[in-house]
Structure 1
Amino acid sequence: MSQPKLSFQPKLSFQNVSRRFGEGDKSFLALDRLNLDIADGEFVTVVGPSGCGKSTAMNIAAGLMDVSDGKVLVDGRPVSGPGPERGVIFQQYALFPWLTVRQNVEFGLRIKGLPASERRRISDHFIGLVGLRDFADALPKTLSGGMKQRCAIARAYAVDPTMLLMDEPFGALDALTRVHMQDQLLDTWSRERRTVFFITHDVDEAVYLANRVIVMAARPGRLHKIIPVNLPAERNEDVRLSKEFTEIRNQVWHSVYHQKPQVEA
């Protein structure tokens, strides 16, 4: 997972993006002139103090929220709403409880009007990719938290997005399941190579997954620091326990938790 070089045209570009909520004396600035370019195929994690605008930035990139100023580009085109090239995965699994794993994964394919045979071929591939082949006909209520999130990831991949926007997708999982899900996600990413914008509060997770860690400043949200993750492409337990991992983790930790509070200008 070597650090990719940005092409002439970034896959995702935040250009002087600001977002204000509310009006008058009760308004507040959540994002303040965010500038960030992310390369095609890059895995970027985003960390920062609570309320620093991480989720706001992702929602804007997903087309679920407008900017107050600036613009966000995907493949050089302004974001004006949700699009099939951007798959969104939240901490809540958002599965349809009355549909099986396969039916959930095929939901977007059905909306696209694909024939049953093609839906089956695609769902078979991604259900297998996330390790749920034996649970294809199971309802979400019978699945563990990790399995539900794997189903959500398979559903996002199935509609063939070029980018995944993920907001704390493993935040509700226990520690061991979380580690397994991180490895599963990296394995899937290494084979499918989508661009990933991944928000987390977990510094270890941020370092383990990323090509680069984006550290946001306290509210109003600004770009505080970009930290390259120069670790072996194949991430495993040995990498987690390495001196190099610890050094990068400490750098990210200090960048997040030793910030001086910002005041709005």
Structure 2
Amino acid sequence: MNPKIALENVGKTFSLARERFVALDDVSLEIADNEFVTVVGPSGCGKSTLLNILAGLEEPDEGRALVDGAEVSGPGPDRGVIFQQYALFPWLTVRGNVEFGLKIAGVPRDERRRRAAHFIDVVGLSEFADVLPKALSGGMRQRCAIARAYAVNPAILLMDEPFGALDALTRVKLQEQLLSAWDRERRTVLFITHDVDEAVYLADRVIVMASRPGRIYDVVGVDLPHPRSEEVRLSPEFTALRNRVWNSVYHQDDERAATAERTS
């Protein structure tokens, strides 16, 4: 079966002042339909650049990005993008924000209302459907952004640290609600994060990136049961996976130094 997403030998370089910065170097990756993949790594490892290329917001200098076998040439309705900043329209209610993309797409009013109500319920905001964003907490605004992305029915969700600005308790709750929504409304998800625990808890697979230049350092399969719960998060299996990913992220320099010493 063909992958839903494929990166083939992708490279990307940026010019910074008088220097050139290699953000991605020869990155290849396949993601299956309805797979939930998280990407974690040190700052500067090209996580967001990778997501932006898949979103069609950046073009690779080398290689190519494919969705359903077709090369990505720009943004498209098959890919919903959610960033750390909520980017809600402040003059529209929760319902208005969720309906906005459907209205632009020409979806009839009754169908817009039905779909918006469904996804507002999926993220637990039914009681706040007629509330403006300024009256919502940060976590509620992000849930509204997720509902808006789901409502236009993209096959793929690209999420760039969507919970990064939230407090720890809200973050855990949103992780659980995101997985609950994913269990009900399957999508292919690529989720960027700095948080190792978050990466393991959400994922079917964790992609660990390395920097200088940005590349795939490790791929960790996460064979934890669904639905995931606090019991899963406290299990020995979770701890073992978390420790492996942690070591891959934070001990890359140690491994490189040991390799250099062995070969010197």
Please say whether Structure 1 and Structure 2 have the same fold, judged by a TM-score greater than 0.5.
yes
The corresponding residue for 1:86 is: 79
Deviations for 1:204-260, whole angstroms, at most 9, x for unmatched residues? Answer: 000000000000012210010100011112210111111110000000000000002
The corresponding residue for 1:119 is: 112
Deviations for 1:163-206, whole angstroms, at most 9, x for unmatched residues? Answer: 00000000111111100000000000001110000000000000
Q: Distance in 2 between matches of 1:234 and 1:106?
A: 29
Please say if residues 216 and 222 of structure 1, whose CA atoms lie closer than 8 Å, have aligned partners that are also in contact. Answer: yes
The corresponding residue for 2:261 is: none
Q: Distance in 2 between matches of 1:180 and 1:81?
A: 33
The corresponding residue for 1:11 is: 4
Aligned residues: 255
SS in 2 for 1:196: strand
Cα 1:257/1:112, change in 2 over 3 Å: same
Matched, 1:36 2:29: yes
The range that moved more, 211-220 or 253-262, is 253-262
Report the identity percentage.
Answer: 68
Please say if residues 47 and 256 of structure 1, whose CA atoms lie closer than 8 Å, have aligned partners that are also in contact. Answer: yes
Gaps of 5+ in 1: 1-7
SS in 2 for 1:232: coil
Q: Distance in 2 between matches of 1:139 and 1:80?
A: 35
Q: Report the TM-score when normalising by structure 2.
A: 0.95
Alignment-mate amino acid for residue 120 of structure 1: R
The corresponding residue for 2:260 is: none
Q: CA RMSD in A?
A: 1.2
1:22-61 aligned within 5 A: 22=15, 25-61=18-54
The corresponding residue for 1:66 is: 59
1:1-265 aligned within 5 A: 8-22=1-15, 25-260=18-253
SS in 2 for 1:161: coil
SS in 2 for 1:106: helix
Q: CA deviation at 1:24?
A: 8.9
Q: Distance in 1 between matches of 2:79 and 2:18?
A: 35
Please say if residues 21 and 27 of structure 1, whose CA atoms lie closer than 8 Å, have aligned partners that are also in contact. Answer: yes
Q: Distance in 1 between matches of 2:228 and 2:110?
A: 36
Q: Report the TM-score when normalising by structure 1.
A: 0.94
The range that moved more, 44-53 or 225-234, is 225-234
The corresponding residue for 2:262 is: none
Q: Distance in 1 between matches of 2:85 and 2:17?
A: 33
